[in-house]
Amino acid sequence: MKAKGILKQFGFNTDHEPESIYAFSPVYRVSKEGQEDVIIKQTQRPLDKARRVMEYLQVLKRNGVGVVTPVHLTTENPQQIEEEVYVAYPFITGKEYTGTDKEIYEAGKLLGKIHALSPNANDYQLSTYEVYDFNFDEVAESMEAIRKHVQSYKVEIALDHLERKFLQAVQQQDELKVTGLPHVMTPHDYKANNLIYTPSPYLIDPDNAIWIPRIFDLALALLLFHNELASAPDKLFTPAQWNLFMKGYSTFVELTEMEELYWEMALDHVFLDEVMWLMADVPEDWEREEQRKLFESIVSTMKDPSNYILRRE
């Protein structure tokens, strides 16, 4: 169904075909006289899974987490439309992240609060992280694409080291799978482009909510917090900034010795899972200089991430 028809299903009529405000998936900002603007976007499917995600988000909101939850409409929300499920959230006004110390600290606090609110079991039956099946052929295929991008844009990335790092992560995944790392419910994909500062950080895209090892969520925040946001720095957190993020996070969460022990292995795995495909399969990212610099920074840091510790100094 075209965007115009999707909006109509939620009670918003428009004479023109709306355009998505996000390049990588359908996200529509809509207005109705006398009402606050609304964002209509895809969420998890099927509908029963989407409803469980929304129940989880409502729990976060009731416990003081700044996070979008479905707006009250005269139509069902969320709802199934053909093969996809869509949800209408409020449009949140505020400022984008720019990388200040206060923003970083507050972002760490918010993620810590979210993790601290997680029950010990997957009570809302969110999707469970189970991606431990990478193989050497996938690495070889991805590296072929990454080499072409690096050569085309003359990017300073040590390709041989990058490939060794990915292969190492493949070899470690079976051990990680059986470690019994603490899991949490979390709106995975915790990145700066999913936060609006009001002035406290407010999570505007929680639709990847999942049951996942807690340090995997932290690893994603370290590696890709500055991804796809023009106002963010074009590089990874510095060790001092990461320490500040973790200082905020530690306000609510005390990590375990096991998590400290497996931290670098978890970083390797998330690097393989999240960064490899991004570098290989999203060619439009390479067209932007700030994204190329971010890739350089991530790969350089992963040569020796020992300065990015879990416990704050």
**Confidence at residue 120, expressed as pLDDT on a 0 to 100 scale:** 94
pLDDT, tens digit, for every residue of 83-104? 999 999 999 999 999 999 999 9
- Give the per-residue pLDDT at 23: 75
pLDDT of residue 105: 98
Distance, in Å, from the CA atom of 250 to the CA atom of 254, rounded to the nearest integer, reads 6
Q: Is the pLDDT of residue 63 over 80?
A: yes
Beta strands in the chain (DSSP E): 27-30, 38-42, 79-81, 84-90, 183-186, 195-197, 201-203, 210-213
Task: Specify the pLDDT at position 298.
Answer: 97
Element (H, E) at 9: helix 3-9
Cα dihedral: 39, 40, 46, 52 (round 10): 30
Q: Which domains does the chain have, with CATH numbers?
A: 3-90 (3.30.200.20), 101-303 (3.90.1200.10)
**Tokens encoding 61:** 């909101």
Residue % of the chain over a pLDDT of 90: 90
Mean pLDDT, residues 146-150 taken together? 96
pLDDT digits (tens, 9 = 90+) for 108-122: 999 999 999 999 999
86 φ, ψ to 5°?
-120, 155
* 234 pLDDT more than 80: yes
237-262 pLDDT, tens digit per residue, is 999 999 999 999 999 999 999 999 99
* pTM recorded for the entire structure: 0.95
**pLDDT above 90 for 201:** yes
| CA neighbor of 268 nearest in space, from 301, 240, 245 | 301
Confidence of residue 15 (pLDDT cuts 50, 70, 90): confident
pLDDT at 34: 67
Q: State whether residue 90 is helix, strand or coil.
A: strand
Q: Is the pLDDT of residue 312 over 60?
A: no
**Average pLDDT score over the chain:** 94
